[in-house]
C-alpha cells in the first residue's frame, strides 16, 4: 500500500475542571466530549460529514459513563452520519495519542480520508482505577500495579531531583498557564462547555498563582521520606479534547489547510516501576524514524504527570526547558488521563504556530511502563 | 389549627438557626426571615456545613427544608406558616416592632411564639390584634436546641388553652420536654440559673477559690455537665449572661437575692472589653495555641490553666449515683472546696424553693426545667430529700441562709419534698401541705414502670427479659457495673440465647432495647484484655463465636426481631443492632463499628451483617462486587460514627426501610408496634450467600494500604488491622466474582482476624488505653 501524508486540520478541547466542586461534574464524560466534537465540526464547515471514516476515542477508564463503546455514543450523540465507525481505545494516559495514531495510520494507507480523534476522562464520575479494580496475584507481587506516585519517587531518587527543583518546575507550569490564559493563547484551543444549569465553563480551573509558602509546607503525598507532593503532581481533573485528522489529498481538495502533518509516531515499553521515563525511548524511536535529531525540534509538549518524572526525562534526554510546555503543562492545567494525548498534540501545534517553528514532538509517559511520542511538522502555506 | 405543616422563624441568629433545624429535622418546611436574604442564607449555610462541630441538623441534607427570606418578603411568604417563632435580638423595642409587622402579614389562627429568654411577653405584644393575642405563647428553647430538650411554655394572659395544649403535645411528640412557666423575668431555668451562676461567683470570692477549682467542683461532682460554671459562661456568652443577670436585677425588685444577682464589676469589664467567651475567642478562658489560659480577675491577665486537686472531688468520682456524689462533695467541714459546694447547693435549693408559685406552679416543674435546660442530673430541690430535709434546714442556718417556708412546712407535715417512683412523681404542694402526684406517661412504654409491675421474665447481672404484653418480649441490656456504657458481656450474651427458650412459651416477637443513657457502647474489654495477655486464644474464639451465634440466631429467627438503638451504639452494640431484622432507631443515634479503635475487627457478625446489607442496598444499581465492599471498608476501616439515625442511614449502618423516632420515650412502644406488625406474613430470613470480589480486590485494597503506610498516613499496626478487615470483606481466600461464599465462612474470617489481632502487643495496648482513658490510642 502506498503511504500518504496525513495531517491535523483542527483541534479543540474543553476547559479542564477540578475534581472537588469542578463545574464539569455536572456532565458525564460522554456529554463533555460530544460538545467538544460538535463545536469543532461547527467551525470546520468545509468538512463534509460523509467524508469522516471513523471516530476514535481514547479513555483510560472506559467503563461506567465512559463505557459501552463511548466512541460510538459520541458519534450518535454528536449527530454524525450513522455510517461513521467508532472505536474506543485504552492505552491509559496515551489513550488519545493512540486514537490519533490509529487514524493517521489508517488514513496514510488509504483506509479512509478523514477521522476524528477524541480524548476524554471524567476522573470524578469514573474514578482512576475504575469501579471494580482487581489485581493479578503474580503481577501484584512483581509490583506491576505500583502507584504512579511511587514511580515518580523512584525517578526523583535515581535522577537526584530535589524537591526544590520539582517545586520550581511546577511553579513555572502554573505561571506559563496563567500567562497563556492572559495572552489569549488558548482562544482557539478551548471551547466553552454549556452546563445543565444554564451556565458555561470557559476556563481551566486548576492554574493558580502559586503560593510558595503553602507549596513548601506540604507533606509528601506518597512517601513520607520522599519529595513528591500534591503541588508537584498533576491534579485529578476532568475534560475532553478532539482532533480532526485528514489526508493531505482531501485537505487540498476541500481547500482546508493542514495545521500540521504527522511525521511519524512511536510507542515504546519501559520498566513499569519507572514508567515516567517512557517519553525517552518513545521519542528516541520516533525521531530516528523521522530522521530527525532533538536539535531539529522547535517545540516540545511533554505531559507533566509529575514534576519529578518530567525533570528526569529532560535531564536524561538533554531536553531544553525553553522549548518545553510553553503554555503550561499538566501540573497546572490538569491531566484528565484519556484526554491528555490529544491535548499535547493539539497544544504542540498551537505553540508551533505561536513561535513560528517547524517541528514539534508531543510525548507522554504511560502507567504500566510505556511512552508515546508523535512527531509533528507545521505546514507552511505558500504566501 | 391542629397541625404544624409550615413554620416561620424570624431572626436567623444562633437560636433562630437551632430552632429552624428542629423543624427541618422533622421534615417540616421552615422559612427563616432576617433583615436581608444574605443574612438568612448565612444561617442556612452554617446549619448545613458538614464540618459543623455541633451539628444541629440530623444531616446536612435536612437543610433542604429551610428556605431563606428577607423580612421584606413577609407579604408573600409569612401567610404560609402555621406557626411563627420570633427570635430577634433581646431588645423590647425590636421585639415590639417585629410583632407589629408579623401581625400584619400572618394568617389568622396561626400560632405566634417568642423565644425570648426572659423579657416580659405581655409587653412585647401590647397593641397586637385580638387573634394574635389568643394565639400567642412564649416558647423558650435552650442552646444547642437539638441537644437540650427543655422548652419553657409561657402562655400570655389571653392565650387560648388549646394553643398551650397543642404546643405541649407537639413538642413532646418530637422529643422535647416542655414545662409550663409564668411570665416572670428570665422565666424558670434562667432565673434559677442566673442565681446559681452569680452565687457561685460570690462564693468563689468568699472561699478564695480559683476559676479552675470552681469548675472542678461545679461540674460532674455536683451532678452538672462538664462545662461546670466558667466554661458554661464562655459557651453561653458572657454578654448574654450579663444581660440576663441585669434583667433579673432590674425587674425582680422584691427578689430576696436581688443583690446577689447584680453582676460583679469584672463581668461588666469583660463585656466592655468584648471578652465574651467562645464567640470572641476569649472570656473566662482563652486558647493559646493548644494550651488553655485562664483569666486572673485580680491582675486581669491570662495565665496558664492549672489542674487543681481535691480529695472530696476525687472521692465523689467513685460514685455512679449523682445524689451520692453531691453528698460526698459537701460532706467535709474543713475543706474550703467542700464548704463552697455546700453553700452553693443549699443556696440554690433555697432560692428555687422560694420561686415556687412565682415562676412555676410547683417545685417539680422547677427541678425538671433545671434538669432539661441545663443538663443537670439532679434537680436543685430534690437533692434536699437525699441530704435529709431537717439536716438541710440546719445546714442552711449554719450558712446564714433563711430556711424557705416551703421547706419548713414540708418538714412539719409530709417530711418530703419530692418522691419519684416508676409510676409517678410526688411533690410537696405548699397550699394543701400534701404530696401531689404527677403520673408517669402511660401512652408510651417506660421500662421502670413495666418492671415494677412484675413483668420481668428472666434476669441476670447485665440483662433481663421483660414481658411487654401482647406477646412481645423485650431484651433489655442493663449492665449495672458500667451503666454509663451499658456494654455487652457474658451475661448479656447468655440472655440473648435465653430468648429462644422464652419465645416459644409465651411470646411471638422480640424487641431489643433499653432506656439507659446509651443503647450499648461496645463489648466488655477488661476480660478480653486479660485473655489476650494470657494468650488464651481458644477462649477468645469462644467469646467471638458466642456473640456471632447469638446475633445470627436472632437475625434468622422464626419470629420478628426489632432492635432499638439510641445514643451511643458502638462496636458490639452496633453488631446487635445490625442483627435486628428491622430497626427502630432513636434520631439521636451515635452508632458505628468502631472496633478499630481498640485494635480489633467486628467479630460478632458485624462484618457479615454490614457487608450483606451493603450488597443488598446497592444491588439495584449493579455496581459490581467491589463497591459494596469498599463502602463497608470505609465505615469499619475508619470506625465511622453516625451523627444521627438519619446519618446512619446515609452511611449505610441502617437501611432506608428502618424507622427513626424523634422521641426516645416513644421508642420502645414504637418498636413493639413494629414487631407486632411484622407478625403478619412473617417469614424467617433464610441463610445468605454473598458474592464478593475475592483476592484480586484484596490486592487492590492492600496496595492502597501500603501507599498510605508509605506516606505515613497509617501506622504499621493500623495497616495490619486494615489488611485483616480487607481480607474479611473481600471474601478471604475462597471468594471470587463467580463463586459466592456462605455466612459461616465470613464469620470464620471474623474470628480468625479477631484472634490474630488480640495476640498482638499493639492491640493489647489499644484495649488497655481505652479502658484507662476512654478514648482510642493510635499506635
- Share of residues in chain A with pLDDT > 90 (%): 98
Name the burial class of residue A353, with classes exposed (0-12), middle (13-18) and buried (19+) by CB atoms within 10 angstroms of its CB.
middle
Q: What distance in Å separates the CA atoms of residue B598 and residue B572, rounded to the nearest whole number?
A: 12
**Burial per residue of B281-318, b for 16 or more beta-carbon CB atoms within 10 angstroms, e otherwise:** ebbbbbeeeeeebbbebeeeebeebeebebebbeebee
- Contact (Cβ atoms closer than 8 angstroms) between residue B373 and residue B423: no
CB neighbours of residue B145 within 10 Å: 23
Is A135's CB within 8 Å of B699's CB?
yes
Contact A132 B625 (CB under 8 A): yes
pLDDT for res A381: 59
Of B626, B693, B699, the CB nearest to A137: B699
Q: Is A381 exposed, middle or buried (0-12, 13-18, 19+ CB in 10 A)?
A: exposed
Nearest to A75 by CA among A52, A95, A92: A52
Write out the CATH class of domain B189-438. Answer: mainly alpha
pLDDT (tens digit per residue) in A287-317: 999 999 999 999 999 999 999 999 999 999 9
* Residue range B447-624+636-687, CATH number: 3.90.226.10
- Which of A133, A136, A220 minimises the CB distance to B626? A133
Beta carbons of B697 and A223 less than 8 Å apart = no
Distance, in Å, from the CA atom of B645 to the CA atom of B587, rounded to the nearest integer, reads: 5
CB atoms A224 and B696 under 8 Å: no
ipTM for the complex shown: 0.87
| Interchain contact, B710 vs A222, CB within 8 Å | yes
Question: What order do you get walking across the sheet with B582-586 strand by strand?
Answer: B456-459, B463-467, B472-477, B509-512, B561-563, B582-586, B659-661
pLDDT of residue B166: 96
Using a CB–CB cut-off of 8 Å, the residues of A that contact B are 129, 131-137, 140, 145, 147, 149-150, 219-224
Closest CA–CA distance from residue B625 to any residue of chain A (Å)? 7
CA dist., res. B372 & res. B131, Å (int): 32
Alpha helices in chain A (DSSP H): 29-42, 70-77, 95-108, 137-141, 148-158, 163-183, 212-217, 248-254, 279-290, 307-317, 330-333, 337-355
Q: For residue A1, what pLDDT band results from cuts at 50, 70 and 90?
A: low
Q: Do B623 and A131 touch (CB under 8 A)?
A: yes
Of the candidates A132, A137, A222, the beta carbon closest to that of B711 is on: A222
Chain B residue numbers touching A149 (CB-CB < 8 A)? 707
Say if the Cβ atoms of A133 and B707 lie within 8 Å. no
Residue B251 confidence (pLDDT): 93
- How far apart are the CA of B737 and the nearest CA of chain A, in angstroms? 10
DSSP output for A159-214:
TT--HHHHHHHHHHHHHHHHHHHHHTTTTTTB--EE-TTS-EE-S-SS-----HHH
For B624, the closest of A132, A137, A145 (CB atoms) is A132
Four-point Cα dihedral B648, B653, B654, B656, nearest 10: 80
**Residue B539: φ, ψ to 5°:** -65, -40
Residue in A135, A150, A223 nearest the CB of B700: A135
For the domain spanning B7-180, the CATH number is: 3.40.50.720
Strands (E), B74-176: 83-86, 111-114, 136-141, 150-155
User: Helix, strand, or coil here: A73?
Assistant: helix
Q: Between A and B, how many residue pairs show a Cβ–Cβ distance under 8 A?
A: 55
Per-residue CA distances from B498 to A94, A102, A218, B558 (Å)? 64, 71, 57, 15
Q: What pLDDT does residue A379 have?
A: 79
- Rounded Cα–Cα distance for residues A365 and A302 (Å): 9
pLDDT for residue A383 is more than 70: no
Give exposure, A302-328, as e/b (b: 16+ Cβ within 10 Å): bbbbbbbbbbbbbeebebeeebbbbbb
Q: Which residues of B touch A220 (CB under 8 A)?
A: 711
CB contact burial B427-436 (16+ within 10 A = b; e otherwise): bbbbeeeebe
Q: Which strands make up the sheet holding B434-439, listed edge to edge? A: B418-420, B424-429, B434-439
Which pLDDT score, from 0 to 100, does residue B2 have? Answer: 66
Q: Mutating which of B711, B716, B727, B739 best tests the A interface, going by the most A Cβ atoms within 10 A?
A: B711
Q: Give phi and psi for B44, each to the nearest 5.
A: -65, -40
How many CB atoms sit inside 10 A of residue B572's CB? Answer: 28
pLDDT the model gives residue B661? 97
User: Nearest-CA distance from A128 to chain B in Å?
Assistant: 12
Condensed to tens digits (0 to 9), the pLDDT of residues B172-201 reads 999 999 999 999 999 999 999 999 999 999
Count of CB atoms situated within 10 Å of the CB of B510: 29
For testing contact with chain B, the best of A68, A133, A140 (most B CBs within 10 A): A133
Structure confidence by residue, pLDDT tens digits, B307-334: 999 999 999 888 888 999 999 999 877 8
Q: Looking at CA atoms only, how far is residue B217 from chain A in angstroms?
A: 43
| Least Cα separation, residue B705 to chain A (angstroms) | 11
Q: How many CA atoms lie within 13 A of A124 on its CB side?
A: 18
Q: At A382, is the pLDDT very low, low, confident or very high (cuts 50, 70, 90)?
A: very low
Chain B contacts of A223, Cβ < 8 Å?
A: 710-711
Query: B768 to chain A, minimum CA–CA distance in Å?
Result: 29
**For residue range A198-254, what is the model confidence (pLDDT) as tens digits?**
999 999 999 999 999 999 999 999 999 999 999 999 999 999 999 999 999 999 999
Q: Quick check: A134 and B699 CB within 8 A?
A: yes
- Check A149 against B625: CB less than 8 A apart: no
Which residue from A143, A160, A142 is spatially nearest to A151, judged by alpha carbons? A143
- Segment B559-575, tens digit of pLDDT: 999 999 999 999 999 99
B596 CB contacts (<8 Å, ≥6 apart)? Answer: B636, B637, B638, B639, B718, B721, B725, B776
Answer for the pair A176, A331: CB distance below 8 angstroms, yes or no: no
- Which residues of A are identified as catalytic? 93, 335, 365
Instruction: Report yes or no: A148 and A268 within 8 Å, Cβ to Cβ.
Output: no
Rounded to a whole number of angstroms, the distance from the CA of B95 to the nearest CA of chain A is: 41
Kindly list the residues from chain A whose CB atom is less than 8 angstroms away from the CB atom of residue B691. none
Q: Do B711 and A150 touch (CB under 8 A)?
A: no
* pTM for the predicted model, two decimal places: 0.90
User: In the numeric block, which cell numbers belong to residue B25?
Assistant: 429535622
Residue ranges of chain B whose CB lies within 8 Å of a chain A CB: 623-627, 693-697, 699-700, 702-703, 707, 710-712, 737
Q: Mention every residue, 6+ apart, whose C-beta is less than 8 A from residue A60.
A: A90, A91, A92, A93, A95, A121, A128, A337, A338
Quickly list DSSP for B507-576: -SEEEE---SSSSB--B-HHHHHHHHHTT-HHHHHHHHHHHHHHHHHHHT-SS-EEE---EEEETHHHHH
- Whether A131 sits inside 8 A of B697 (CB atoms) is no
Residues of chain B with pLDDT under 70: 1-2
- Of the partner residues A131, A136, A145, the one whose CB lies closest to the CB of residue B703: A145
In this prediction, residue B289 carries a pLDDT of 82
Instruction: For A146, name the nearest residue in chain B, comparing CA atoms only.
Output: B703
Please report residues of B whose CB lies closer than 8 A to that of A133: 626, 697, 700
> What are the helix (H) ranges across B388-536?
389-399, 405-412, 447-452, 490-506, 525-533
- Evaluate whether B728 touches B601 at the Cβ level (below 8 Å): yes
> B697 vs A134: CB contact, 8 Å cut-off?
yes
The nearest CA of chain B is from the CA of A202 a distance in Å of 28
Name chain B contacts of A145, Cβ cutoff 8 Å: 699-700, 703
CB contact under 8 A, B711 and A219: yes
Q: Do B703 and A135 touch (CB under 8 A)?
A: yes
Cβ contact, residue pair B700, A134, below 8 Å: yes
Rounded Cα gap, residues B434 and B410, in angstroms = 8
**Chain B residue at shortest CA distance from A145:** B703
- Of A133, A137, A147, which has the smallest distance from its Cβ to B707's Cβ? A147
Q: In a mutagenesis test of the B interface, which of A65, A126, A135, A224 is the best target, namely the one with the most B β-carbons within 10 Å?
A: A135
Domain ranges of chain B: 7-180, 189-438, 447-624+636-687
User: B756 Cβ partners below 8 Å, 6+ apart?
Assistant: B724
On average, the pLDDT of chain A sits at 96
Which of B627, B707, B710 lies at the smallest CB-CB distance from A131?
A: B627
Amino acid at each position: 500500500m502506498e503511504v500518504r501524508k496525513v495531517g491535523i486540520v483542527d483541534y479543540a478541547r474543553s476547559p479542564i475542571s477540578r475534581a472537588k466542586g469542578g463545574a464539569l461534574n455536572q456532565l458525564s464524560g460522554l456529554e463533555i466530549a460530544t460538545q467538544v466534537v460538535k463545536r469543532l465540526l461547527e467551525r470546520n464547515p468545509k468538512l463534509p460529514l460523509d467524508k469522516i471514516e471513523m471516530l476514535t476515542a481514547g479513555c483510560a477508564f472506559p467503563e461506567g459513563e465512559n463505557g459501552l463503546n463511548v466512541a460510538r455514543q459520541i458519534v450518535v450523540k454528536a449527530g454524525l452520519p450513522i455510517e461513521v465507525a467508532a472505536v474506543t481505545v485504552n492505552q491509559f494516559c496515551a489513550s488519545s495519542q493512540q486514537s490519533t495514531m490509529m487514524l493517521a495510520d489508517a488514513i496514510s494507507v488509504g483506509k479512509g480520508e478523514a477521522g476524528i480523534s477524541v480524548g476524554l476522562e471524567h476522573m470524578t464520575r469514573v474514578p482512576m482505577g475504575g469501579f471494580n479494580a482487581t489485581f493479578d496475584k503474580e503481577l501484584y507481587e512483581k509490583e506491576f500495579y505500583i502507584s504512579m506516585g511511587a514511580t515518580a519517587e523512584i525517578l526523583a531518587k535515581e535522577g537526584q531531583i530535589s524537591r526544590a527543583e520539582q517545586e520550581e518546575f511546577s511553579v513555572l507550569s502554573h505561571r506559563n498557564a496563567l500567562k497563556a490564559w492572559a495572552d489569549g493563547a488558548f482562544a482557539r484551543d478551548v471551547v466553552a462547555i454549556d452546563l445543565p444549569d444554564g451556565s458555561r465553563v470557559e476556563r481551566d480551573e486548576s492554574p493558580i498563582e502559586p503560593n510558595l509558602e503553602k507549596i513548601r509546607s506540604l507533606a509528601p503525598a506518597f512517601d513520607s521520606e520522599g519529595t513528591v507532593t500534591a503541588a508537584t503532581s498533576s491534579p485529578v481533573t476532568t475534560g475532553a479534547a478532539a482532533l480532526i485528522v485528514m489526508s493531505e489529498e482531501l485537505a487540498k481538495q476541500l481547500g482546508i489547510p493542514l495545521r500540521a502533518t504527522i511525521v511519524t509516531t512511536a510507542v515504546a515499553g519501559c520498566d513499569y516501576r519507572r514508567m515516567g521515563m517512557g517519553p525517552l525511548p518513545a521519542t528516541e524511536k520516533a525521531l530516528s524514524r523521522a530522521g530527525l535529531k532533538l536539535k531539529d525540534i522547535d517545540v516540545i509538549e511533554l505531559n507533566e504527570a509529575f514534576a519529578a518524572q518530567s525533570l528526569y526525562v529532560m535531564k536524561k534526554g538533554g531536553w531544553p526547558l525553553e522549548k518545553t510546555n510553553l503554555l503550561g503543562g499538566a501540573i497546572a492545567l490538569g491531566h484528565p488521563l484519556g484526554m491528555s494525548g490529544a491535548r499535547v498534540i493539539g497544544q504542540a501545534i498551537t505553540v508551533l504556530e505561536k513561535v513560528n517553528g517547524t517541528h514539534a514532538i508531543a510525548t507522554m509517559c504511560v502507567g504500566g511502563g510505556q511512552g508515546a511520542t508523535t512527531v509533528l511538522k507545521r505546514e507552511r502555506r505558500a504566501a | 389549627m391542629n397541625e404544624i405543616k409550615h413554620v416561620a422563624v424570624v431572626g436567623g441568629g444562633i437560636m433562630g438557626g437551632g430552632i429552624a433545624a428542629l423543624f427541618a429535622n422533622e421534615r417540616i418546611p421552615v422559612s427563616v426571615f432576617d433583615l436581608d436574604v444574605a443574612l438568612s442564607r448565612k444561617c442556612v449555610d452554617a446549619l448545613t456545613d458538614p464540618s459543623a462541630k455541633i451539628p444541629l441538623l440530623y444531616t446536612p441534607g435536612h437543610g433542604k427544608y429551610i428556605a431563606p427570606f428577607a423580612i421584606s418578603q413577609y407579604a408573600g411568604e409569612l401567610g404560609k406558616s402555621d406557626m411563627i417563632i420570633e427570635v430577634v435580638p433581646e431588645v423590647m423595642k425590636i421585639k415590639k416592632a417585629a410583632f407589629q409587622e408579623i401581625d400584619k402579614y400572618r394568617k389568622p389562627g396561626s400560632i405566634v411564639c417568642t423565644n425570648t429568654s426572659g423579657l416580659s411577653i405581655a409587653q412585647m405584644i401590647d397593641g397586637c390584634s385580638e387573634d394574635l393575642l389568643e394565639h400567642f405563647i412564649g416558647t423558650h428553647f435552650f442552646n444547642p436546641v437539638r441537644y437540650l430538650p427543655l422548652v419553657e411554655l409561657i402562655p400570655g394572659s389571653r392565650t387560648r388553652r388549646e394553643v398551650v395544649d397543642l404546643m405541649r403535645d407537639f413538642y413532646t411528640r418530637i422529643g422535647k420536654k416542655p414545662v409550663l412557666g409564668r411570665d416572670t423575668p428570665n422565666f424558670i431555668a434562667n432565673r434559677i440559673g442566673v442565681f446559681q451562676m452569680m452565687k457561685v461567683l460570690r462564693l468563689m470570692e468568699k472561699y478564695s477559690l480559683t476559676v479552675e477549682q470552681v469548675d472542678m467542683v461545679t461540674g460532674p461532682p455536683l451532678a452538672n455537665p462538664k462545662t461546670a460554671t466558667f466554661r458554661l459562661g464562655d459557651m453561653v456568652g458572657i454578654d448574654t449572661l450579663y444581660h440576663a443577670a441585669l434583667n433579673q436585677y432590674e425587674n425582680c425588685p422584691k427578689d430576696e437575692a436581688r443583690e446577689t444577682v447584680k453582676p460583679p464589676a469584672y463581668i461588666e469589664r469583660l463585656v466592655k472589653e468584648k471578652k465574651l467567651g467562645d464567640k470572641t475567642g476569649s472570656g473566662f478562658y482563652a486558647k493559646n495555641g493548644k494550651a488553655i489560659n485562664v483569666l486572673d480577675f485580680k491582675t486581669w491577665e491570662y495565665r496558664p490553666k492549672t489542674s487543681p486537686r481535691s480529695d472530696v472531688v476525687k472521692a465523689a468520682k467513685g460514685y455512679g449515683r449523682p445524689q451520692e456524689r453531691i453528698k460526698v462533695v459537701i460532706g467535709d467541714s474543713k475543706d474550703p472546696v467542700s464548704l463552697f459546694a455546700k453553700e452553693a447547693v443549699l443556696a440554690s435549693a433555697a432560692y428555687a424553693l422560694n420561686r415556687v408559685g412565682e415562676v412555676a406552679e410547683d417545685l417539680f416543674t422547677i427541678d425538671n426545667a433545671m434538669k432539661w435546660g441545663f443538663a443537670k442530673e439532679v434537680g436543685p430541690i430534690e437533692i434536699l430529700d437525699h441530704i435529709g430535709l431537717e439536716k438541710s434546714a440546719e445546714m442552711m442556718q449554719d450558712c446564714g441562709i433563711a430556711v424557705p417556708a416551703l421547706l419548713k412546712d414540708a418538714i412539719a407535715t409530709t417530711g418530703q419534698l419530692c418522691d419519684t417512683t416508676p409510676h409517678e412523681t410526688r411533690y410537696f404542694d405548699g397550699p394543701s401541705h400534701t404530696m401531689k402526684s404527677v403520673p408517669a406517661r402511660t401512652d408510651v412504654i417506660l421500662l421502670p414502670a413495666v418492671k415494677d409491675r412484675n413483668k420481668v421474665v428472666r434476669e441476670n447481672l447485665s440483662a433481663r427479659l421483660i414481658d411487654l404484653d401482647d406477646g412481645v418480649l423485650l431484651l433489655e441490656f442493663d449492665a449495672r457495673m458500667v451503666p454509663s456504657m451499658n456494654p455487652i458481656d457474658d451475661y448479656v450474651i447468655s440472655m440473648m440465647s435465653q430468648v429462644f427458650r422464652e419465645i416459644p412459651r409465651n411470646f411471638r416477637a422480640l424487641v431489643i432495647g433499653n432506656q439507659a443513657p446509651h443503647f450499648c457502647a461496645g463489648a466488655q474489654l477488661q476480660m478480653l484484655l486479660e485473655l489476650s495477655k494470657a494468650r488464651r486464644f481458644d477462649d477468645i474464639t469462644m467469646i467471638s463465636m458466642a456473640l456471632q451465634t447469638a446475633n445470627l440466631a436472632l437475625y434468622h429467627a422464626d419470629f420478628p426481631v426489632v432492635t432499638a438503638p439510641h445514643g451511643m451504639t458502638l462496636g458490639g452494640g452496633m453488631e446487635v443492632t445490625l442483627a435486628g431484622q428491622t430497626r427502630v432507631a432513636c434520631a439521636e443515634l451515635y452508632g458505628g463499628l468502631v472496633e478499630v479503635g481498640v485494635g480489633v475487627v467486628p467479630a460478632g457478625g458485624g462484618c457479615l451483617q454490614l457487608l450483606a446489607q451493603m450488597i443488598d442496598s446497592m444491588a439495584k444499581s449493579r455496581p459490581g462486587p467491589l463497591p459494596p465492599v469498599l463502602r463497608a471498608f470505609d465505615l469499619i476501616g475508619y470506625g465511622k460514627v453516625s451523627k444521627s439515625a438519619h446519618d446512619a442511614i446515609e452511611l449505610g449502618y441502617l437501611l432506608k426501610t428502618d424507622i427513626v423516632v424523634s422521641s426516645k420515650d416513644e421508642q420502645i412502644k414504637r418498636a413493639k408496634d413494629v414487631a407486632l406488625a411484622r407478625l403478619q406474613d412473617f417469614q424467617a430470613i433464610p441463610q445468605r450467600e454473598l458474592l464478593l470480589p475475592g483476592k484480586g480486590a484484596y490486592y487492590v485494597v492492600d496496595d492502597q494500604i501500603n501507599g498510605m503506610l508509605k506516606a505515613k498516613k497509617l501506622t504499621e499496626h493500623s495497616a495490619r488491622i486494615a489488611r485483616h478487615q480487607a481480607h474479611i470483606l473481600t471474601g478471604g481466600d475462597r471468594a471470587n466474582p463467580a463463586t459466592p461464599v456462605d455466612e459461616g465462612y465470613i464469620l470464620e474470617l471474623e474470628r480468625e482476624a479477631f484472634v490474630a489481632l488480640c495476640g498482638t502487643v499493639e492491640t493489647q495496648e489499644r484495649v488497655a488505653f481505652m479502658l484507662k482513658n476512654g478514648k482510642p490510642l493510635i499506635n
